[in-house]
Amino acid sequence: MAKDNLPNNDIVSLYIKQAQKLESKNNLKDAEKLYMTVEEPDLAIQMYKKAGQFDNMIRLISKYRKNLLKDTHQAIAQKFQQEGNLKMAEHHYVESGVLSL
């Protein structure tokens, strides 16, 4: 209904607002679907980053922002290293190509 009656920028705004509501309710998968519907993968990536769901974040970066993948893995590795989670740090360092086993 919105597609037939609203300008495109209003539709995008409506979907983003609804996705943010879902995000605040921790319904991230449905929020992601709305972000993708209006071609806003960066908002979904940021959402997963804030939620600490790095696997989902990496999945989207791999698909939509492949050029950022190495740097993202390095940043996640550094975060885990600072937290003392060396196993996860190692995993992301390996994925970034900085460390090889």
> How far apart are alpha carbons 73 and 85 in whole angstroms?
14
- pLDDT score of 5: 66
> How far apart are alpha carbons 76 and 54 in whole angstroms?
8
77 with 57, same domain: the answer is: no
41 with 82, same domain: the answer is: no
- pLDDT score of 1: 54
Range of the domain at 58: 1-64
> How far apart are alpha carbons 89 and 28 in whole angstroms?
24
70-73 contacts at long range (C-beta below 8 A, 24 or more positions apart): 70/96, 70/97, 71/96
Query: What is the DSSP track for 19-31?
Result: HHHHHHTT-HHHH
Q: How many domains does the chain have?
A: 2
3-state secondary structure 42-79: HHHHHHHHHHCCHHHHHHHHHHHCHHHHHHHHHHHHHH
26 with 60, same domain: the answer is: yes
39 with 7, same domain: the answer is: yes
39 with 77, same domain: the answer is: no
10 with 31, same domain: the answer is: yes
pTM, rounded to two decimals: 0.88
35 with 13, same domain: the answer is: yes
78 with 90, same domain: the answer is: yes
39 with 15, same domain: the answer is: yes
Q: What is the residue-level pLDDT of the chain in tens, covering all 101 positions? A: 555 666 778 899 999 999 999 999 999 999 999 999 999 999 999 999 999 999 999 999 999 999 999 999 999 999 999 999 999 999 999 999 987 76
